[in-house]
Amino acid sequence: MTTQIITIEYNNKPVFFQSDAFINAAAIAGKFNKLPKDYLKTSRTKEYIDAVRRIFLTEENQLVKVVQGGTPEEQGTWLHPKLAIDFG
């Protein structure tokens, strides 16, 4: 099954979601001259990711997806919905 990209306008800017509710953190962070890696490297974020991973009994690589290649809308760092809320 392929994941569809959903575009929603927020403050006249496109925000990209995947049909599985992952959000394109790279596209959002770029609007503020930031990078998702800055969020992901903090000890607080690492602890949060570990807590979410334990609650959902999943691996960390199921919570953060990095996509290179494909269309521009597909590319970027995609965050699980629980991380997207914290990221925001």
Give the integer Cα–Cα distance in Å for 16 and 46. Answer: 24
pTM assigned to the model: 0.82
Backbone angles phi, psi at 34, to 5 degrees: -125, 170
Give the integer Cα–Cα distance in Å for 34 and 47. Answer: 21
Look at residue 4 and tell me whether its pLDDT is greater than 50: yes
In 10 A of CB 44, how many CB atoms? 9
Give the integer Cα–Cα distance in Å for 80 and 78. Answer: 7
Give the integer Cα–Cα distance in Å for 57 and 51. Answer: 10
Class of domain 5-87: alpha beta
11-63 residue pLDDT tens = 787 788 888 889 999 888 888 899 999 999 999 999 999 999 999 888 778 99
